[in-house]
Amino acid sequence: THQEFVSSSLNRSRYWARSLRGWRYFDGASPNPAHRALGVLEEAGYVEAVITQNVDGLHQRAGSRNVIDLHGRNDEVVCLTCSRSRPRAGYQEELEEVNSTWMDTYLPPQEVMDIRADGDAHLDVSSFDGFVVPPCKDCGGVWKPRVVFFGGSLNSAVKLQAQNALLGAQALLVMGTSAKVFSAFSLVKLAAQAGKPVAVVNIGETRADPLISPALRMHLRCSEALLALCRHLGLQV
């Protein structure tokens, strides 16, 4: 959680050690057909904006231009003291440089890993005492990924940007989320209150289901629904 990260140097060591291990897998991820279809739909004028809870930047890689990263981006880090930001890739190099001995000891080569959506990797390591977390060279502060951890607050400017994008659109399409997190559910509520059509594409129940018409509820995979929509519109993905 956010509080655990900011309150404990041990927790920060644990986080960055796991992230160091998972970063190359996270950074090497590629957009899937759903990402690419959204980019095509935006280019054709059907999508006004993409508001995403994901932190991987794959929508941008797939060609979407107007992307609102509701929970931030994992490819940047920010200093909690002076607010300086830098690319995560550069911080990765620094982490690897100062922890080369620790990596040789605790991180034997592995082909299969348990990787979370934010690049966090499971490690069977009992102690992180020897792991070094490099501080900000400008002020000595703590580096944190530019993402919203559980218990953290959304950036107010990003929240307003998402709300304005929603209110300026004709409808809302909710895809691939249970909408259990309030940051996402609040946008569904806002759309419903504004009288905008809301469609949901997700396998499994969502928190948004009671607010929408059953006719606009589809139990499909995102790629399946979006590729079918593109075909219907005569768009090549």
Segments making up each domain of the chain, as ranges:
2-29+75-147, 33-72+153-233
Domain 2-29+75-147 classification at class level: alpha beta
Distance CA 12, CA 131 (A): 10
Full DSSP string of 204-234 = S--TTGGGS-GGGEE-S-HHHHHHHHHHHHT
User: Do the first three CATH levels of 2-29+75-147 and 33-72+153-233 match, i.e. the same topology?
Assistant: no
For the annotated catalytic residues, the residue numbers are 71
Q: Is 230 annotated as belonging to a binding site?
A: no
Q: How do residues 127-185 score in pLDDT, each as one tens digit?
A: 677 899 999 999 999 999 999 998 899 999 999 999 999 999 999 999 999 999 999 99
Rounded distance, CA 199 to CA 169, Å? 13
**Closest-CA residue to 206 (of 196, 216, 194):** 216
Question: Domain spanning 33-72+153-233: which CATH class is it, in words?
Answer: alpha beta
222 is in an annotated binding site: no
Q: Is 139 one of the annotated binding-site residues?
A: yes
Best CA proximity match to 201, nearest among 181, 182, 229: 229
| Residue ranges in the chain modelled with pLDDT below 70 | 108-127
10, two tokens: 């041990």
Position 112 scores a pLDDT of 47
pLDDT of residue 126: 60
pLDDT score recorded for residue 26: 87
The angle subtended at Cα 81 by Cα 79 and Cα 83, nearest 5°, is 50
DSSP label of 136: P
